[in-house]
Amino acid sequence: MNTAMISFNKSSVLALAKNGKRFDGRKLDEYRGPIEIESSISKSAEGSVKVTMGDTVVIAGVKLSLEKPYSDTPDQGGLMINAELSPLSSSRYEPGPPQMPAIELARVTDRGIRESHVIDTKKLCIEKGEKAWFVIVDIISVNDAGNLFDAAGLAVMAALRNTTFPKVDDEGKVNYKEHTDEALPIAKDTLSITIRRVGKNLIVDPTVEEEDASDARLTVSSESDGVISAMQKGGEGTMTIEEVMKAVDLALDKANFLRGKLK
Amino acid sequence: MSNIVVENRDIVIPGDLLAEGMDYIPGDFTFREDEKIFSKILGMVSVSGRVLKVTALSGPYAPKIGDKIIAKVTDVLMSGWRVNTNTAYTAVLNVRDATTRFVRKGEDLTGILDIGDFLVCKISNVTSQNLIDVTMKEPGLKKVEGGRIMKINCNKVPRVIGKKASMIQLIKEATGVEITVGQNGLVWLRGSADGELKAQQVVRMIEQRAHESGLTGKVSKFLGVAHKPVTPTPTPTPTPAPVPKAEPVVEGGEQ
């Protein structure tokens, strides 16, 4: 996506927002189609998916490794989520160490899943204080056409659901070439939905143009019963309490919509 | 003794032999080595008389003198602007090619064009070093104001314009949107909010289905207007738009 054009189109996006309209003609609470999840796309990962949301494409892969547990949680395994915004996916990203957007994407996605205890980390422990499974998830953007937050959240949840344990031989070495049927101990489906404010409207699933025109965003991670596990506010604009309440309601509703795609 | 190897509308790849002998003349995107003519790019052959040329099917925009393009101002210079032309090379727009009014020495040029502004301009010169000059001193060349800008594959530009601007005329009439297509693949749409959106969808559709024949018919169907048959009736508009029933896959077009 050409960055230059977007800054030009910003004024058009804001002019349309005054009439409650969106740049690409969608309703305020409408997602782009098609939303697709393609599972097991990688042979070397324990679980992997490719998520398509309109023109946005994200892949996520899960690796499992046997490590020594942290000393403050000797009876638990662990979860690590990393994100990489590939320079191929947008003209805005550069190769090299992760920049702010990649770090925020990883942390927001991680927090939602960690704080709602999606994975029962105690079940990942094999020998207390000695050996436990650590779950490492990598998110890679393939095409950034906006709304990487929702796509990444959906991809991570789908990748975790797609994961099976590798075989462990008698000496305790992991054989990554063969997999068991045992899935990760996943307790719930937590998805994060990002609500953007463009003008005075609260919208879901923004395109890059809308992301540029928006001054505030709120990411809400929620479980299927409506329990909110994490929130993240971004952008320099402020939101009123009414807006936050509206955004949360919208996010819970849309999380249920996306959860339907996960099945 | 000359011998042509390819036929009209053949698809060729770089290095493909097109003809042998000196009776044929190499045109666009072809070159002569010894007495043979080869293709420089992936594209479609078109034979017109003794001239062999290849129409590009992919690849970036190559600046040509006389092309109307949409460019973006990236820097303000001492006596002009540096503009991004959507190619690997930037172009320079001199003050005297930008405005007819008198500009004092040392005047703030951002009052005329500022960084981030888009402009419709014409390539006035390209050197062998790919230094490009653009000008706005012609009717219809101006700063882009309002509306929206989209980017398409520059090789599909002739299809978006259509034969004798028939496609553009069709979209204009159906949506009421003013459309300016730059040869470098940038398209400027300005009109009502709904019209702009519809026009953008149509242009995107043409870009994706450029290889199909009878595209004008499909576009009129999408726009919900009657597909005008081939009747060369004189129209009051400056560009009469006889809509051909079956167009060739790729054709040169100009706006």
Whether A139 shows a pLDDT value over 70: the answer reads yes
Is B157 within a domain?
yes
Chain A residue with the nearest C-alpha to that of B193? A16
Q: Which of A112, A118, A116, A105 is nearest to A160 (CA)?
A: A118
Contacts of A142 (CB under 8 A, 6+ apart): A50, A57, A58, A59, A86, A88, A89
**What confidence tens digit (pLDDT) does each residue in A32-80 have?**
989 999 999 998 999 999 999 999 999 999 999 999 999 999 999 999 9
Does any CB of chain A come closer than 8 Å to the CB of residue B242?
no
By C-alpha distance, the chain A residue nearest B200 is A24
pLDDT of residue B190: 92
Express each pLDDT in A236-261 by its tens digit.
Answer: 999 999 999 999 999 999 999 999 99
For residues B75 and B2, the model is more confident at B75
Least confident span in A40-44, B98-102, B121-125: B98-102
For residue A44, give both structure tokens. Answer: 């070397």
Query: Which residues in chain A have Cβ-Cβ distances shorter than 8 Å to B146?
Result: 12
| Range(s) of the domain holding residue B120 | 68-135
| pLDDT band at residue B236 under the 50/70/90 scheme | very low
Q: What is the mean pLDDT of chain A?
A: 91
- Closest by CA to A23, choosing from A223, A214, A250, is A214
Contacts of A177 (CB under 8 A, 6+ apart): A166
For position B37, which CATH number holds? 2.40.50.100
Domains of chain A (ranges; CATH) run 32-262 (3.30.230.70)
- pLDDT of A4: 47
Q: How distant is the alpha carbon of residue B13 from its chain centre?
A: 22
Q: B157 and B215: one domain? A: yes
Q: Please check whether residue B118 touches A, CB under 8 A.
A: yes
Percent of chain A residues topping a pLDDT of 70: 97
Q: Is residue B62 part of a domain?
A: no
Tell whether the model's pLDDT for residue A133 goes beyond 60.
Answer: yes
Give yes or no for residue B182 having a pLDDT over 80: yes
Same domain (yes/no): B153, B110? no
Q: Measured between CA atoms, how close is A128 to chain B, in angstroms?
A: 58
ipTM reported for the complex, 2 dp = 0.73
Whether B241 maps to a domain, the answer reads: no
Tell me, what's the pLDDT at B245? 45
> Quick check: is B142 in a domain?
no
Count the domains in chain B. Answer: 3
| Pair B105, B158 in one domain | no
Domain assignment present for residue B152? The answer is yes
Over residues B129-146, the mean pLDDT reads 90
Predicted model pTM: 0.80
Are the Cβ atoms of B147 and A12 closer than 8 angstroms? Answer: yes
Nearest residue, CB atoms, B118 vs list A8, A12, A15: A8
Distance CA A246, CA A56 (A): 26
User: What are the structure tokens assigned to B130, written together?
Assistant: 């790919």
Q: What is the CATH number of the domain that holds B161?
A: 3.30.1370.10
Q: Confidence class of residue A16 from pLDDT cuts 50, 70 and 90? A: confident
Span A95-104, mean pLDDT?
93
- Do B154 and B124 share a structural domain? no
Give the number of other CB atoms < 10 A from CB of residue A191. 27
Work out the average pLDDT over A163-186: 90
